[in-house]
Structures are given as structure tokens and as C-alpha cells.
Structure 1
Amino acid sequence: MKTHTPNAILERVRALMPGVAVSVLVAVTAMFLSEHYGAPAMLMALLLGLSLNFLAEQGTRTVQGVEYAAKSILRIGVALLGARISAQMLSELGPAMIGIVIGGVIFTILFALWAARLFGRGWRLALLTGGSVAICGASAAMAIAAVLPKTDKSERNLAFTVLSVTLLSTVAMIAYPLLASWFHFDALESGVFLGGTIHDVAQVVGAGFSISPEVGETATLVKLIRVSMLAPVVLIFSLSMRLGGLEDRAEGGKRPPLLPLFVVGFLFLAGLNTVGVIPPSVSDLFGTISRWALLIAIAAVGIKTSLLRMLDVGATAIALIIVETAVLGIFVVAGVHLFR
């Protein structure tokens, strides 16, 4: 039985501090590089973390803290994302555009499961890459990875997915505004296209506001609707694995909760924001804390992952995530053309 005496808590903090401190330092450095050189913060945090993989070797003082940052701080970050979500978002787009966004999420995940079999990859990688492409990039990848059954390839696949969706988002941030112009989309259509296809929130904002403030606001709104799909998708994944007997067992052989606590937190905060309990300033604060928590978590994931092992993921995994990205783009473009 765990004890929670002051001495036990202090010992726990001392054990975690070195690894958490390193993860925070990597996150701060990544943010500095992002703000001064324009590189995506998530990508910088992952790459810097990968270069510090020796700090995750057994016997080093940083192991426990890095593990804590990669799991517990990650869950805090995902939960706080809920404070930016509200039901009022849906009324601002109209049923047709909402249908395109939600349909794109569902179709991409189902396509990922089919394509993974075609490429000879497992269902875990399919759900991880498909969910991250469909919903919100690195944030979704980390949330989905938290409920998938663990294997010796789990950390490698997560690091690969985060790296891939971040790179693809950066390319899309540059290329997709040009495509929106080529397709002769108006402001609403451009916003739905950018927000419905680019993986990470930061790149959606960058792409949208590079066209106009109106497109930027619409794209951000659409992106947040995709983020709101995170909770139901994680619930469906968790339920499916439980029904299939595939979930990891908790300590003592007990089943983990059907809906992870961090997803409950996400839904709770989204509900509070919907009824107007959370002031905009607090919502913005939670959003900032969430971004930092996720940045610290991905730094820790990088530290835990061997670059050589990540490169072993294979060409078919790279092809899989590129094809998923292309399919989502085609689906949204077709939907916008259909309802324009």
C-alpha cells in the first residue's frame, strides 16, 4: 500500500525532479528556437530530446522524472485542452461544414486501419497515425498512445508519429494556402480546408492568418472542432480494446477505467466552458499551460526514444502516414466542393 506521508512525498519529488527538470529545459529551449527561428516547437522538443536519449538509460537519476513527464504531464496537457472547446463552436459553421470535418476524422481513421493491413502494419500503428492525422497531430498521438496496449515498439512509434505529423504540418502550412487559392475557395471554404486538414493547431493558425484574419479565425475554429473529437475517439478506442480483451491490465490485474481520467477532465472542462463557467482569460491560461505540458511531455518522449530504433520503423510506416494525410486532404476538398 502506498504511503503519502510528507517524507514519502518529499522523496518522490526528489526522485522525479532531475528528469522533469531536464524535460522542462528541453521544452524551454525548443520554444526559444521556435520563437526566434520559426521552427515548430514540437519538432524541436522531439529532436532535442532524441539527442539526450542517454539520460533515459537505466541507472541514471533522470529516468523516473522523464517517465513521469512522458505520462502524467502529458495527461494534464490533454485534459486542459478541454477548456478551449465549447458546443457554441458548432453553431458558427453550419451543419454541412461540420459534417465535412467530422466525416473527415471518421473516414481517415477507418482508412488508416484498412491501409495499415495493405502495407503490412499493425492496428496499433494504424490507430496512432490515423488518429493523429485525423484529429490534432502530436497532441492526439500522445493521447491515443496513452490508451493503446504497450509493446516494446510503443515509444518508437509515438516518436515517429509525432515527428511525421509535425513535419507534414509544416509543409502543409506553406503549401495549403496556395492550394486554397488554386481551388478558388472563399474565406469560409479556405478556413474549413485549412482547419480540416492540417494536423497541428499552431500550423493551422499560421496558414489561416497568412491568407486573412477571417480565414485564420475560421480555420482555428474548425481545428478546435477536430480537437473536440479527441475524447469520443479515445473512448471508442478504449471500449473496442476492452471488448477485444486487448487493454493493458493495471497493477494487481485490475482493468483500467473505460474512460481515462485525463479524458474525463477534458470533457469536464469542455462542459464548463460550454455553459460559460470558465472566463475567456482562464480558458486562454489553461490553453497556454496545456501547450507547455504537451511540449514538456514530447521532450520526455524524445529522451526516452532511441533515434536508431525510431529509424527502424520502416518505409511502409512513412508511406502510411503520408497517404493518410493525402486522403484526409482529398476528403475535405471534395466535401467543400460538394457543398459550396
Structure 2
Amino acid sequence: MTVIAISAVNNRVRELAPGFMVSLIAAAAASFLSEHYGAPVMLFALLLGLALNFLSADGRCKPGIEFTARTVLRIGVALLGMRITLEQIASLGWKPVALVVTLVVVTILVSVVAAKALGFQRLFGMLTGGATAICGASAALALAAALPHHKQKEHATLFTVIGVSALSTLAMIIYPMIADWMHFSPQQSGVFLGATIHDVAQVVGAGYSMSTETGDIATVVKLMRVAMLLPVIVCAAMITRRAGFDAGGKRPPLLPWFAVGFVLLACLNSTGWVSTAVQGAVNDLSRWCLVISISALGMKTQLKELATVGFKPIALMVGETVFLVLLVIALMHWM
């Protein structure tokens, strides 16, 4: 039995290795380009994946690309839990927590309604609204993993990743100017940047470009938004269960395993037992898993199909971003 099991594992590894390795190479190239040219690594990974999409039709690479786009993605989402501690959230008091919960819930609800009004499925509104309200490309990938299977889901996911990456890069440049123009204090600037910019890396870049205090507060507020990923994933999973069955004919679990891993790692990180070196290693591994998986998603997409999305999805994402900024400014004034 042991020999049979080892043989099966070896066969599975051989089957998945070509697709996984080409996704890994694309991710490494994306990281190199990001470090040297300053653009979001997710965007480079996606573009390189799109350039290699012919490989998904190849018999040798296809199984590994499918595995990477699905399973490696979920591993990366689970590992995001190591970024968060309960102490970080408690240190800011109840007002930022209330602000984050409100902005996430309201932004997603408004996005769902707006998507329906524009003729899209409500789930597309949840995908774009979650990416805007929580943590950009990472949230888009996590929600896509939890949402019901649909033939257009991968195209919607890739479009969302492109949109939030581009908007987040613009926000990193423009939002500090808005904070200065509105004469925010360093604390207020940190809350504003952390609550409005989509991706963690851009939040860090914008916050520390203003001051160390602003950067610290912006990072913690952003991580509070990342923590909202878990309840939103649970809601998405409940929608999946109501929808019935997925493509494989199995009823999806109420709480996906990667969501369980996310909360367990967050709790473990909150104990203080995890060393800084281990935290850094897990965060780096999470980042690599997400970058590798987005390159694989790009390989599964045909450019001519992605180019048919039209103007309405762009308008939806820009509208969500502007709405989020106005909502955060209003909530900051009210609180």
C-alpha cells in the first residue's frame, strides 16, 4: 500500500510540475520587474500570465496551471492571517474598528446594488466591492475562490485584479495630496490612507511617504480591513451553499478550509509566540503563493475575451473607489 501511495504521489507531482513551474517562473519575473520599475507585482504577474496563455491549452502544463490557480491561491489566502494580531486592532480603540466595519459593509452593499443596476450579476458587485473595500487583489482572489462557479468568474476576477491594481497605484500618489489638502493630522492621515487605498503595499508606500507615525497607523488600519476578509468569505460561502452545488457536484462547506486557516493563523499570531522571522517568512510565502496563482489565472484567460468587458465594469470600479473615499471622509468627520 505504501509503495502504491508513493507511486500515486510521484505521478501527481509529475503531472502538476510543468504548469506549476511555468507559473513560478512568471511570478519570479514579475517580482523582478516590480522591484526595478515600481509597479504592482500582481499586475506584472497577470500581464506575464496573459502573454503565456497558450500554455493552458498544452496537455503537459494545463493540470499544473489549474492546480496553481485554485489550490495555491487558497493556501496564499490562508497564510494572510499571519499579518494580523488582535492587539493591533485593539490598540486603536473602537472608532477605527467601527469605521472599518462600516465602510466594508456599506461599500460591498452599494457595489452589489450598482452592479445589478448596470446589468451585472450581484456576485460581480460582491467581487469588485470586496476588492475595493478590503485588500485589493488579495481580496479579489480570496472571494473568487469562495464564490459559486460561473463560466465568467475567472474573467471577472482578472478584470478586478487589473482594476484594483491600477487604481491602488494611482491612489498611492494622489491620496497623500488629498490628506495634505484637507489638513489632516498625522493620525487622521494614517486612518484615511489605511481605510481607502486598496492594496497593502500601496498603503505602506503612501503612509510612510508622509511620516513614520502616519505609516504605522495606516498599516494597522489596513490590516483591520484585511481582517474583514474572513466574515466576507463566510458570507460568500453561504451564498454558494444557497446556490446549490459547484462545478464538481459537491456542496461547498459553510466555512472554507482556507478561511479556517486564516483565522487560526491570526489567533496564533496574536499569542506573541511567533517570532518576527517566522512572521516574515510566512508573509513572504503568502505573497509568493498569491503572485504565482495570479500568473496562473492569467495563463487561463484569453485576451480577446477579456477585451470584451466594455466600459461599464470600469465605471463600476472607479465609482466604488470614489464612493469609498467620500464615505471614509464622512465617517471620519462624524466620528
Indicate the SS of the match to 1:69. Answer: helix
* Match among 300, 303, 316 for residue 304 of structure 1: 300
Matched, 1:186 2:210: no
1:254 alignment partner AA: K
Please give the residue correspondences for 1:205-284 in structure 2 after superposition, counting only pairs within 5 Å.
Answer: 205-242=204-241, 245-249=242-246, 251=248, 253-284=249-280
- Alignment check: 8 A CA contact 1:238 1:247 kept: no
Distance 1:303 1:254, change over 3 A: closer
Letter in 2 for 1:212: S
AA aligned to 2:46 is: L
Q: Does the alignment pair 1:195 with 2:194?
A: yes
2:274 maps to a residue whose letter is I
Alignment correspondent of 1:49: 49
In structure 1, C-alpha distance between the alignment counterparts of 2:153 and 2:247, rounded to whole Å: 17
Assess if the C-alpha contact under 8 Å between 2:149 and 2:246 holds in 1.
no
Partner Cα separation in structure 2 for residue 53 and residue 249 of structure 1: 25
TM-score, with structure 1 as normaliser: 0.95
CA contact (8 A) 1:41 1:295 kept: yes
SS of 2:216's equivalent?
helix
> Where do 5+ consecutive residues of structure 2 fail to align?
none
Identical-residue share of aligned pairs (%): 50
Deviation of residue 4 (structure 1)? 6.6
CA pair 110-291 structure 1, distance change in 2 beyond 3 A: same
1:232-278: CA deviation from partner (whole Å, max 9, x where unpaired): 11101212332xx3143374x43121111000000111111112232
Q: Is the 8 A contact 2:147 2:239 kept in 1?
A: no
Residues of 2 paired with 1:220 and 1:309: CA distance? 37
Aligned to 1:65: 64
Q: Which runs of 5+ in 1 are unaligned?
A: none
Asked if structure 1 preserves the Cα contact closer than 8 Å seen for 2:206 and 2:215, the reply is yes
TM-aligned CA distance change 1:46 to 1:319, over 3 Å: same
Aligned counterparts of 2:203 and 2:317: Cα–Cα separation in 1: 18
Give yes or no for contact 1:135–1:226 (8 Å, CA) kept in 2.
yes
Shift of 1:191: 0.7
Aligned-pair distance for 1:35? 0.6
Contact 1:15 1:65 in 2 (8 A): yes
Which residue of structure 2 aligns with residue 125 of structure 1?
A: 124
The aligned residue for residue 88 of structure 2 is 89
| Residue 153 of structure 1: how far off its partner (Å) | 0.8
Tell me how far apart the structure 2 counterparts of residues 218 and 303 of structure 1 sit (CA, whole Å).
37
